[in-house]
A and B are shown apart, each in its own frame.
Chain A
Amino acid sequence: GAVVSQHPSWVICKSGTSVKIECRSLDFQATTMFWYRQFPKQSLMLMATSNEGSKATYEQGVEKDKFLINHASLTLSTLTVTSAHPEDSSFYICSASRDSVAYEQYFGPGTRLTVT
C-alpha cells in the first residue's frame, strides 16, 4: 500500500511555456501532499505543502505565481511551472501523507524537467 505516482516522468519544454506535473496517491487518500525540488547530487528542497481543498503553503523563497499548486482532490495534486526558464530545469518530486498530522511521507518517482 501507499503508492504514489507522478506524470510525466520526464518532460522537455521550451522557454516561456508552462508545464503541468501530476501527483496521484493510488491506494490511499492523501490529505496532504508535498512538492520538492532536487538538484543533481543535492538534497530534497521542500517547495510547498498542499492540503486538499485549500491553498498551498509555500516555503520561503519559492515564487507562488511561478509554481502553481492545486490539490483539488484527496488523490491528486498538480504543480504547474509557468513561463519556464532553463534555471527551472530540475527533478521535481512529490510526496503524500495520509493526514495533516502523520509524518510518514510516500514519495512519487519524480519528474525530470528540462527547459530549453
Chain B
Amino acid sequence: GENVEQHPSTLSVQEGDSAVIKCTYSDSASNYFPWYKQELGKRPQLIIDIRSNVGEKKDQRIAVTLNKTAKHFSLHITETQPEDSAVYFCAASGGGNKLVFGAGTILRVKS
C-alpha cells in the first residue's frame, strides 16, 4: 500500500520568511496530493491540492510542486505570518479514494 513520509517534523521560521515542507510517497499509481492545515483541537482544513497531471499549483502565498518521477511533492508558504502557525499534513491517494497521511509538520512562525 501507499506510504507517505513527511519532513521536517518541526519547522521554525521568522515572520516574513518562507517555509517549505516536503513529502515523498511510494505508490506510483497515486494521483492526488492534498495538503491540510490543522490548528490545535480543530479539524484538518484543505489548503491546497494537486493532481498528477500538474507540476505546480499556486494560491496566493501557498504553492505546491509535484515531481512524479521522484515521487515527491512539496508545500511552499511565502511571507509567513503568525497565523500560519499550525500542524501541516500532506497526503496521497492510496487505493479507492482513501488518503494516506504523512506524520505532520509543526510550523512555528516567530514574530
Task: Tell me if chain B binds chain A.
Answer: yes
Q: Which residues of A contact B (CB under 8 A)?
A: 32, 34, 41-44, 46, 49, 91, 93, 97, 100-110, 112
Q: Give the tally of cross-chain contacts (CB within 8 A).
A: 51
B97 within 8 A of A: yes
A43→B102 contact, CB < 8 A? yes
A110 CB contacts on chain B under 8 angstroms: 41-43
Q: Which residue in B34, B45, B89, B101 is a CB contact (below 8 Å) of A103?
A: B34
Nearest-neighbor residue (CB-CB) of B99 within chain A: A105
21 contacts between A and B (CB under 8 A): A34-B99, A41-B104, A42-B103, A42-B104, A43-B101, A43-B104, A44-B101, A46-B98, A49-B96, A49-B98, A91-B41, A103-B97, A104-B49, A105-B99, A106-B46, A107-B36, A107-B44, A108-B43, A110-B41, A110-B43, A112-B41
Which residues of chain B in 19-60 are interfacial with respect to chain A, using CB atoms and an 8 Å cutoff?
Answer: 32, 34, 36, 41-46, 49
Q: How far is the CB of B76 from chain A (nearest CB, A)?
A: 21
Q: Known contacts A43-B102, A43-B103, A97-B97; is A107 also within 8 Å of B43 by CB?
A: yes
Q: Which residues of B contact A (CB under 8 A)?
A: 32, 34, 36, 41-46, 49, 89, 93, 96-104
A49 CB contacts on chain B under 8 angstroms: 96, 98
In the bound assembly, the distance between CA atoms of A106 and B99 in angstroms comes to 12
A104→B89 contact, CB < 8 A? no
B43→A109 contact, CB < 8 A? yes
Nearest-neighbor residue (CB-CB) of A98 within chain B: B97
B44 CB contacts on chain A under 8 angstroms: 44, 93, 107
